[in-house]
Amino acid sequence: METIIADMTRGIDGDMMAKAGQIIRQGGLVAFPTETVYGLGANGLDETASAKIYAAKGRPSDNPLIVHIARFSDLERIAEQIPDSARKLADAFWPGPLTMIFRKSPEVPYGTTGGLDTVAVRMPDHPIALALIEAGGGYIAAPSANTSGRPSPTRAAHVAEDLQGKIDMILDGGDVGIGLESTIVDLTEEKPVILRPGYINQKMLEDVIGPVEMDRGLTADDPNVHPKAPGMKYRHYAPKASLTIVEGPAGAVMDKIRLLARQEEERGGRVGIIATDETAASYPVGIVKSVGTRTDELSISSHLYGILREFDQLQVTRIYSEAFETPMLGQAIMNRLMKAAGHQVILV
Ligand code: AMP
Ligand code: MG
């Protein structure tokens, strides 16, 4: 199949957007930018259409999709037993990087929810995404627009790298702002539970609705405790080379990474180092990339996946990354980095 790439980096192209909406309504696939990462969209109320998402990504069929809406009132058609807390959270954070889990209505096919009786819903904060949802009929099911197991795409070129020829259209809206997937909060239990950390952190949620728990599966060292969001159990977000995180006081971290990088090069390997603007100049070995500055957390989150992809292209054999102290996004950034590393951490 030929994939149409529509350049909307300088604004929405009305004709192309109409075409994209038509593709969605006819059961096709359109990738689109959001403020978090690029999504791969299909009509969420059409089981055959959402099945195409799984096929294009090579995604396990038990890993549910998030349904994207453009108006709060549209929630009622797809969700049941909507608690008061949902309206409060929507008032505070929608459109924005927050996904809420509800009981699903019969209108949502099991093909969209991975067989679950619950549905994940989000209103993205991006003009292209909102226009596509409107043009496509109001309910766009979308996971991240990458091949399953690869880092999520933060620019249209990443989507093309993985999915060109497998989907109908890519809407290019330039680089995304946040670069990490949305926070997921489950509102179907008595107490709200964070299933995936993101830009909207625990404190921000608690300021609006009171106590919110963190899913034990996210933090537990016990391998028998599984994360509740089906997608969180996969080794996801992963680069091809094995990645190790080095954590501790800055000086000791740099010493350790220099040592490990030298050893890997002596073995004939090719080393990638994920550093920051503050530390990048202090590594004499390896291919060093700064992910951003420690004084701006969004600079780190927005570049992380892109750097993992760059290291894939450079065919490094090992990646060493500094751990990041990021008070606001820390849980989210370290959660993704830990998953990419398959939990390999060296404490110094
Ligand atoms: P992605 O957008 O690619 O990050 O994939 C969507 C994420 O949302 C996956 O991690 C899913 O496991 C999670 N998710 C979607 N629907 C549900 C649901 N009903 N219950 C729990 N997690 C969900
Ligand atoms: Mg994903």
pLDDT, one tens digit per residue, over 284-341 is: 999 999 999 989 999 999 999 999 999 999 999 999 999 987 788 868 998 889 888 8
Q: Cα–Cα distance between 17 and 12 in angstroms, integer?
A: 7
CA 125 to chain centre: 14
Structure tokens, 165: 């020829």
Where do the H-state alpha helices sit in 125-175?
127-135, 156-163
User: Cα–Cα distances in Å, from 200 out to 23, 123, 176, 183, 217?
Assistant: 32, 14, 16, 6, 19
Q: Tell me the three-class secondary structure of 280-299, residue by residue.
A: HHHCCCCEEEECCCCCCHHH
Alpha helices, DSSP H, located in 94-183: 110-113, 127-135, 156-163
Mutate to test the pocket of ligand 1, among 35, 36, 54, 65 (most ligand atoms within 8 A of CB): 65
Tell whether 279 is in a known binding site.
no
Instruction: Provide the Cα torsion 294, 342, 195, 220; round to 10°.
Output: -100
User: Which residue in 184, 57, 70, 74 sits closest to 118, CA to CA?
Assistant: 184
Q: Which residues have CB less than 5 Å away from ligand 2 (the ion)? A: 143-144
Decide: residue 234, CB within 10 A, 0-12 exposed, 13-18 middle, 19+ buried.
middle
Which pLDDT does position 23 carry in this prediction? 98
* DSSP annotation of 64: P
Residue of the nearest CA to atom 21 in ligand 1? 229
What are the angstrom distances between the C-alpha of 284 and each of 254, 271, 304? 11, 12, 22
pLDDT lower than 50: segments of the chain: none
Which of 128, 164, 163 shows the shortest CA–CA distance to 143? 163
Bridge partner list, 319: 243, 272
Longest dimension (CA), the chain: 61
Structure tokens at 188: 């179907």
Please give the structure tokens belonging to residue 162.
Answer: 């993985």
With H, G, I as helix, E, B as strand and everything else as coil, classify residue 172. strand
Query: Which atom, in ligand 1's list, is nearest to the CA of 230?
Result: 12
Q: If you measure from the C-alpha of residue 339 to the centroid of ligand 2, how many angstroms do you get, rounded to a whole number?
A: 12
- Atom 9 of ligand 1, residue of closest alpha carbon: 231
Q: What is the pLDDT at residue 217?
A: 80
pTM: 0.94
Pocket of ligand 1, beta carbon within 6 A = 63-64, 66, 101, 113, 116, 118-120, 143-144, 181, 184, 195-196, 229-232
* Rounded Cα–Cα distance for residues 13 and 173 (Å): 11
- List the end-to-end C-alpha distance of the chain, in Å, as a whole number: 50
Closest residue by Cα to residue 91 from 246, 227, 209: 209
Q: How many CB atoms lie within 10 A of CB 220?
A: 12
Contact 89, 209 (CB under 8 A): yes
Task: Note the pLDDT of residue 92.
Answer: 98
For the CA of 152, the closest atom of ligand 1 is: 3
pLDDT for position 325: 78
Distance 275 CA to ligand 2 centre (A): 24
pLDDT value at residue 147: 95
3-state secondary structure (DSSP) of residue 223:
coil
Nearest-5° angle of CA 250, CA 308, CA 240? 115
Amino acid 242: pLDDT: 92
The whole-number pLDDT of residue 236 equals 63
Q: Which of 23, 25, 20, 29 is nearest to 56 (CA)?
A: 29
Distance CA 190, CA 84 (A): 12
Which pair of tokens denotes residue 333? 């950034």
On the question of a cis peptide bond just before residue 95, with omega within 30 degrees of 0, the verdict is yes
Atom of ligand 1 nearest to the CA of 66: 15
